[in-house]
Amino acid sequence: MKSATTLGLAPNALKVLEKRYLKKDEEGKVVETPVALFRRVAKTIARADMMYGKSEADVLLLEEEFYSMMTSLDFLPNSPTLMNAGRKLGQLSACFVLPVGDSMESIFDAVKHTAIIHKSGGGTGFSFSSLRPGGDIVGSTKGVSSGPVSFMTVFDTATEAVKQGGTRRGANMGILRVDHPDILGFITAKDDNSRFNNFNISIAITDRFMQAVKDDMDYELINPRTRNVVKSLKARDVFSLIVNHAWKNGEPGIVFIDRINASNPTPKIGDIESTNPCGEQPLLPYESCNLGSINLSKMTADGSVDFQKLKKTVWKSVHFLDNVIDVNRYPIQKIAEMTRANRKIGLGVMGWADMLIMMGIPYNSDRAIDLAKEVMGFIQKEAKNASAALAEDRGVFPNYPESIYDGKMPARNATVTTIAPTGTLSILAGCSSGVEPLFAVSYVRNVMEGTKLLEINPYFEKIAKDRGFWSRELMERIADKGSLHDFDEIPDDVKSVFVTAHDIKPIEHITMQAAFQEFVDNAVSKTVNFSNSATPKDVEDVYMLAYQLNCKGVTVYRDGSRDEQVLSTGQTAAKHAEPQPGQTKIVPRKRPESIIGETRTMNTGCGTIYITINEDENGHLFELFTHMGKAGGCASSQAEAIGRLVSLALRSNIEPDVIIKQLKGITCHNQTWANGGKITSCSDAIAKALEKYMEKGTKGNGNGDKHHRENVFIGQCPECGGSVEHEGGCAVCHSCGFTKCA
- Supply the DSSP symbol for 448: G
Q: Is 278 known to be catalytic?
A: yes
Q: 539: left (phi > 0), else alpha (psi -120 to 50), else beta?
A: alpha
- Beta bridge partner(s), residue 702: none
Instruction: Please say whether the beta carbons of 730 and 423 come within 8 A.
Output: yes
Closest CA to 334 of 21, 117, 639: 117
Strand ranges for 629-694 from DSSP E = 672-674, 677-679
Q: Which residues lie below 8 Å from residue 325, measured CB to CB, with a gap of 6+?
A: 290, 339, 340, 343, 345
| 333 CB-contact burial (10 Å; exposed 0-12 / middle 13-18 / buried 19+) | exposed
Interatomic CA distance for residues 384 and 389, integer angstroms: 9
From the candidates 95, 278, 551, 717, give the one annotated as an active-site residue: 278
For the residues of 644-661, what is the DSSP string, one character each? HHHHHHHHTT--HHHHHH
CA distances to 209, 601, 605, 611, 736 from 608, in Å: 66, 7, 8, 10, 33
From the candidates 78, 276, 295, 522, give the one annotated as an active-site residue: 276
- Beta bridge partner(s), residue 314: none
Interatomic CA distance for residues 547 and 256, integer angstroms: 8
Instruction: Please say whether the beta carbons of 541 and 415 come within 8 A.
Output: no
The total of other beta-carbon atoms located within 10 Å of residue 135's CB is 11
Amino acid at 55: S
Output phi, psi for 69, to 5 deg.
-65, -35
Interatomic CA distance for residues 173 and 199, integer angstroms: 6
Amino acid at 338: M
Q: Is 276 known to be catalytic?
A: yes
For the residues of 315-372, what is the DSSP string, one character each? HHHHHHHHHHHHH---SSHHHHHHHHHH---EEEEE-HHHHHHHTT--TTSHHHHHHH
Alpha-carbon 299 to chain mean position: 25
Interatomic CA distance for residues 309 and 93, integer angstroms: 27
Interatomic CA distance for residues 603 and 464, integer angstroms: 55
- Beta bridge partner(s), residue 221: 231
> Strand, helix or coil at 225?
coil
Interatomic CA distance for residues 735 and 615, integer angstroms: 35
CA distances to 346, 349, 511, 725, 742 from 417, in Å: 4, 9, 19, 25, 20
Residue length, the chain? 742
Preceding amide of 99 cis, omega within 30: no
Q: Which residues lie below 8 Å from residue 574, measured CB to CB, with a gap of 6+?
A: none
Q: Which residues are known to be catalytic?
A: 276, 278, 280
